[in-house]
Homo-oligomer: A and B are copies of this chain.
């Protein structure tokens, strides 16, 4: 992923016919329903407007995986701050009058530091605007929502979170397979491959106890470290892995491998972030004996 600013959006990209028709009618209806409530009448121009910030989950990518509430907030927005991972198809749902601001956050390439985003969204809301901070997936899961909620509250700006479909759920759907299976797995662990600089790497191996499905977000660049961590924790290298790149979008890529071949497979398939690395370790799974692990780990 490049850290260069994205070129200007192709304003309203063409859609597949059926979806296009559905969405055109749907957004026309929504727009008509929402405009009176959300647009201050010109005659009230002197009354100070109260701004508002919504941290909106855009879901995993596909436009029709937005919730109705997310669409409502998007249609009512006057300013929309969006991340690098937001699909242009989703942005095309914004009303023509809304100002779109690319804050360009991508893993390892924060073209806007978090403090600048915090300052920009609060400044916009303090002018009385309805601000949407559009985040891929669910804002509560690795969405850096804490900083933005705190900034809004420091300024006394009403703020809400609109939950979204997280990428792990979209991965289960794309694979046609549940993330938890009765008698096999009793927990889903959602973890990140990417940490704040200076923080210790997450202990992925310890997270994958028998009975677990582990969904790793943004872990492609750490694939080698993840392999080592799992091996050190006694996870057998033949443990099943499924990978979903750019899940639910037109660029979706599915790959399958084992924990012992994760880094090699990602490289061979040319899959980069955003990707979900899904590792299942059913309850009955054996633990590789320490000796076997050492042998496997030897170069």
* A140/B191 in contact, CB under 8 A: no
* A68/B72 in contact, CB under 8 A: no
Q: Given A173-B162, A202-B186, A180 and B140 touching (CB < 8 A)?
A: yes
Q: Among the interface residues A37, A177, A179, which one has the most CB atoms of the partner chain B within 10 A? A: A179
* B37/A18 in contact, CB under 8 A: yes
CB distance from A277 to the nearest CB of B (A): 14
- Which DSSP category, helix, strand, loop or mixed, fits chain A's interface? mixed
Per-residue contact bits, chain A 136-152, to B (CB 8 Å; 1 contact, 0 not)? 00111111111101000
Q: Given A33-B25, A190-B187, A202-B211, A139 and B178 touching (CB < 8 A)?
A: yes
Q: Indicate if A62 sits at the interface (CB-CB under 8 A).
A: yes
Find A68's partner among B37, B66, B159, B168 (CB 8 Å cutoff): B66
Bound-state Cα–Cα, A128 to B113, Å: 54
Bound-state Cα–Cα, A187 to B202, Å: 9
* B72/A22 in contact, CB under 8 A: yes
Looking across the interface, which residue of chain B has its beta carbon closest to that of A204? Answer: B187
Per-residue contact bits, chain A 158-171, to B (CB 8 Å; 1 contact, 0 not)? 01111111101110
* B68/A63 in contact, CB under 8 A: yes
Looking across the interface, which residue of chain B has its beta carbon closest to that of A165? Answer: B163
* A29/B25 in contact, CB under 8 A: yes
Q: Given A29-B29, A172-B161, A64 and B65 touching (CB < 8 A)?
A: no
* A146/B181 in contact, CB under 8 A: yes
* A178/B64 in contact, CB under 8 A: no
Find A164's partner among B22, B64, B169, B182 (CB 8 Å cutoff): B169
In the A-B complex, list the 3 residue pairs whose CB atoms are closest, starting with the nearest: A140-B172, A25-B29, A163-B169
A to B CB contacts below 8 Å, 12 in the list: A18-B37, A22-B72, A63-B68, A64-B67, A65-B69, A68-B71, A139-B172, A141-B178, A141-B179, A149-B178, A161-B178, A187-B192
A-to-B contact residues, CB < 8 Å: 18, 21-23, 25-26, 28-30, 32-34, 37, 57, 59-60, 62-69, 71-72, 138-147, 149, 159-166, 168-170, 172-173, 176-183, 186-192, 195-196, 199, 202-203, 206-207, 209, 211
